[in-house]
Amino acid sequence: MSNTVTQVGASDSSLRREGQMRAGVYRGQGRVVVESVPIPEIGAGEVLFRVAACGICGTDIKKIQHGFIAPPQILGHELAGTVVKTGLGVTKFKPGDRVVSFHHIPCGACFYCEKRLFSQCAGYKKTGLTAGFDPNGGGFAEYVRAMPWIVERGMVALPSDVSFEEATFVEPVNTCLKAIRKARVARGETVLVVGQGPIGMLLAMLAKYVGAAVYTSDPMPGRRSASVRFGAKESFDPAAVNLFEEMRRRTEGRGPDAVLLAAPSASLVPEALAIARPGGRVLLFAHNDPVLKLEFPAAAVGIEEKEILGSYSASVDDQEESVALVFERRLPVKELISHRFPLERIADALELAARPKHDTLKVVITHE
């Protein structure tokens, strides 16, 4: 008996006929090559969906540019698309359904899940989406296989009025919402977000959403202008002003309650600690490089009682709210997309995301 149910439309007729798809395959440090690879086979409890859009994440760039992973791999985890096959026993979805999918889902029963530290769960660390080779998201391909635990707890149906491009923001919004909560950002506080790339913009939007007064900094004038357009009170050029002094002037001499670092430079950590008020918090969002070393004055933590916090990946506790933030358009996520590229031009897309121009915000790979 077959383990799959298939609905094939005109656009998917080649799926059965050839069994091949196009994918951007990571082939070593700095190299992603568009190739023909087999369409993934699915089994019981699994789903195959056709990718419609996939955002490029900063972690994708780090893995590719620095060679942090062994080739071959097919990356891309901010993805949405249309179900084309369902495995035996799948009842939540059917061919033709439009979906967005997370790529990590925790087991829900281990020590770390009980502590709500889902990203440290061994099951969470297993990637549940793949387009072939070692599972690593797969959104830089035409089709992706979702494994049973993802189908059951990590896939979300899209309302008819939500575009695939908007849906690709569900996962990054979740990661940023988790970070905002980890930093304990609260109504009435003052927050500085350092770095106004796509993630920095989302952190600033969410800090404002929870009621904080938000200031930002970025060396690129286009990003500073966009930051103010999206709700920051002011956005500073760190090369032209002294952020310590500017934030002291705006906080009665104290400094901001929290500094959120959305840029990966090691030198930003001691700077952020200096800027934050005594007893304030510094959250490291972009500092997830496995070889990066950090140094900072011990007195900032040991005497001034400032906290250094980390936040990594998404949280199932925030899944429902992150979906609502995107689907109900509480955040203007679609306006963050500055560039769209077809899959065949993924090398150009990755180059732009890695070396952004003055007007570059979010770069998305589109299939439709």
Q: Can you give the pLDDT at residue 15? A: 52
The 10s digit of each residue's pLDDT in 231-275 is: 999 999 999 999 999 999 999 999 999 999 999 999 999 999 999
The 10s digit of each residue's pLDDT in 55-67 is: 999 999 999 998 8
- Averaged pLDDT for residues 2-20: 50
pLDDT at 368 over 90: no
At 5, is the pLDDT very low, low, confident or very high (cuts 50, 70, 90)? very low
The 10s digit of each residue's pLDDT in 315-356 is: 999 999 999 999 999 999 999 999 999 999 999 999 999 999
Tokens at 304, concatenated: 């001034």
Enumerate domains of the chain plus CATH numbers. 4-170+315-366 (3.90.180.10), 184-310 (3.40.50.720)
- Averaged pLDDT for residues 287-294: 86
- The residues, ordered by sequence, that sit 6+ positions from 237 with a Cβ below 8 Å of its Cβ are 217, 218, 219, 221, 224
- Three-class SS of residue 185? coil
Work out whether strand 98-101 and strand 78-87 pair parallel, antiparallel, or are unpaired.
Answer: antiparallel
Rounded Cα distance between 43 and 195, Å, is 43
| Beta-bridge mates of residue 81 | 51, 99
- Averaged pLDDT for residues 135-144: 97
Rounded Cα distance between 151 and 218, Å, is 39
**Side-chain half-sphere exposure of 182, counting CA atoms within 13 A:** 28
Instruction: Tell me the chain's radius of gyration from C-alpha atoms.
Output: 21
